Amino acid sequence: MSNRRHSYQIYNHLEDPFPKTVINRKMFIIVDNKHKPITHKDGHLLIFFRGKDARKYIQKNKANEIWKEKRISLDITML
| C-alpha to C-alpha distance for 54 and 45, rounded to whole angstroms | 12
Q: According to the model, what pLDDT value does residue 12 have?
A: 66
Indicate if the pLDDT at residue 48 is higher than 70.
Answer: yes
State CA 79 to chain mean position distance. Answer: 15
What is the sign of the dihedral through the CA atoms of 54, 55, 57 and 58? Answer: positive
Element (H, E) at 56: helix 51-61
Q: For the residues 45-49, what does the mean pLDDT come to?
A: 91
Q: According to the model, what pLDDT value does residue 50 have?
A: 93
Domain extents in the chain: 20-78
Q: For the residues 1-30, what does the mean pLDDT come to?
A: 72
Greater model confidence, 65 or 33 = 33
Query: Of 47, 43, 53, which is closest to residue 26 (Cα–Cα)?
Result: 47
Indicate if the pLDDT at residue 29 is higher than 70.
Answer: yes
